[in-house]
Structure 1
Amino acid sequence: MGFQFKYDEGVPQTKIQQLLHAITEAISNGVLKEGELMPSVNQLSKSGGVSRDTVFKAYSILKQRSIISSTPTKGYFVNSVSFRVMMLLDDFSAFKEQLYTSFRSNLPDNYAVDLLFHHYNPDVFDQLVQNSLGRYSMYVVMNIKHSRLEKVVRKIDPNKLLILDMGTPDGDDISYITQDFQAGPIACLKQVVDRLQSYRQFNLVFPASTPHPVEFVKAFDAFCKEHKLKHQLIDDLSKRTVQPGQAYLTIKEEDLVYLLKSCKAQGVKTGSDLGLIAYNDTPLKELVGAGITVISADFAEMGAKAARFVVSKEKIFEVLAPKLILRGSL
Structure 2
Amino acid sequence: IFLLFNKLSEHKKIIYDAFVKELGENAVVDFYVYNNDFNLFKRIIERREKDYTHIVIIPHFLEDNEDAYKLINTLPKEKLIIVSKKIPGITGQIAMVYENFEKDIYASLMEAKESLAKYNRINLIFPYHNNNNIEIVQGFKSFCQDFAFDYAVLDSSANANLLNGDVFITVMEDDLIIILDQILAQKLQIGVDIGLISYNETPIKRLIGQGISTISTDFKQLGISAAELVMSGDKVQIENPFYFTHRPSI
Post-superposition offset of 1:314: 2.1
TM-score computed with the length of structure 1 as normaliser: 0.70
The answer to whether structure 1 residue 239 and structure 2 residue 155 are counterparts is no
Distance 1:316 1:159, change over 3 A: same
Distance 1:147 1:293, change over 3 A: farther
The answer to whether structure 1 residue 309 and structure 2 residue 229 are counterparts is yes
Post-superposition offset of 1:266: 2.0
Query: In structure 1, what is the Cα distance between the partners aligned to 2:138 and 2:234?
Result: 35
- Aligned ranges 1:63-82 → 2 under 5 Å: none
- Aligned ranges 1:123-162 → 2 under 5 Å: 123-144=39-60, 150-162=69-81
Post-superposition offset of 1:321: 4.0
The counterpart of 1:263, out of the listed 171, 183, 194, is 183
Q: Determine the structure 2 residue equivalent to 1:285.
A: 205
Q: Confirm or deny: 8 A CA contact 1:130 1:152 kept in the other structure.
A: no
Post-superposition offset of 1:216: 2.8
Task: Write out per-residue CA displacement over residues 144-164 of structure 1, whole angstroms, 9 at most, x where no aligned residue.
Answer: 357966222233221111101
Q: Determine the structure 1 residue equivalent to 2:168.
A: 248
How many pairs align? 246
List structure 1 runs of 4+ shifted beyond 4 angstroms: 145-149
3-state SS of 1:144 partner? coil
Query: In structure 2, what is the Cα distance between the partners aligned to 1:154 and 1:239?
Result: 39
Q: Determine the structure 2 residue equivalent to 1:186.
A: 106
Post-superposition offset of 1:219: 2.7
Task: Write out per-residue CA displacement over residues 158-179 of structure 1, whole angstroms, 9 at most, x where no aligned residue.
Answer: 1111101013353442211010
Query: In structure 2, what is the Cα distance between the partners aligned to 1:271 and 1:111?
Result: 47
Q: Determine the structure 1 residue equivalent to 2:123.
A: 203
Q: Confirm or deny: 8 A CA contact 2:123 2:154 kept in the other structure.
A: yes
Post-superposition offset of 1:126: 0.7
Task: Write out per-residue CA displacement over residues 264-309 of structure 1, whole angstroms, 9 at most, x where no aligned residue.
Answer: 2222221122111111112222222222111111110110111111
One-letter code aligned to 2:53:
S
Post-superposition offset of 1:97: 1.1
Q: Determine the structure 2 residue equivalent to 1:108.
A: 24
One-letter code aligned to 2:84:
D
The counterpart of 2:86, out of the listed 163, 167, 173, is 167
Distance 1:264 1:279, change over 3 A: same
Tell which structure's C-alpha radius of gyration is larger.
1
Query: In structure 2, what is the Cα distance between the partners aligned to 1:285 and 1:147?
Result: 33
Q: Confirm or deny: 8 A CA contact 1:122 1:144 kept in the other structure.
A: no
Query: In structure 2, what is the Cα distance between the partners aligned to 1:248 and 1:133?
Result: 42
Query: In structure 1, what is the Cα distance between the partners aligned to 2:60 and 2:12?
Result: 15
**Aligned Cα RMSD in Å?**
1.8
In structure 1, list runs of 5 or more residues that go unmatched. 1-84
- Aligned ranges 1:8-157 → 2 under 5 Å: 85-144=1-60, 150-157=69-76
Q: Confirm or deny: 8 A CA contact 1:144 1:167 kept in the other structure.
A: no
What percentage of residue pairs aligned between the two structures are identical? 27
One-letter code aligned to 1:299:
F
Q: Confirm or deny: 8 A CA contact 1:147 1:168 kept in the other structure.
A: no
3-state SS of 1:278 partner? strand
One-letter code aligned to 1:113:
V
Query: In structure 2, what is the Cα distance between the partners aligned to 1:167 and 1:98?
Result: 20
One-letter code aligned to 1:160:
K
Query: In structure 2, what is the Cα distance between the partners aligned to 1:139 and 1:115?
Result: 11
Q: Confirm or deny: 8 A CA contact 2:69 2:87 kept in the other structure.
A: no
Query: In structure 1, what is the Cα distance between the partners aligned to 2:217 and 2:65?
Result: 19
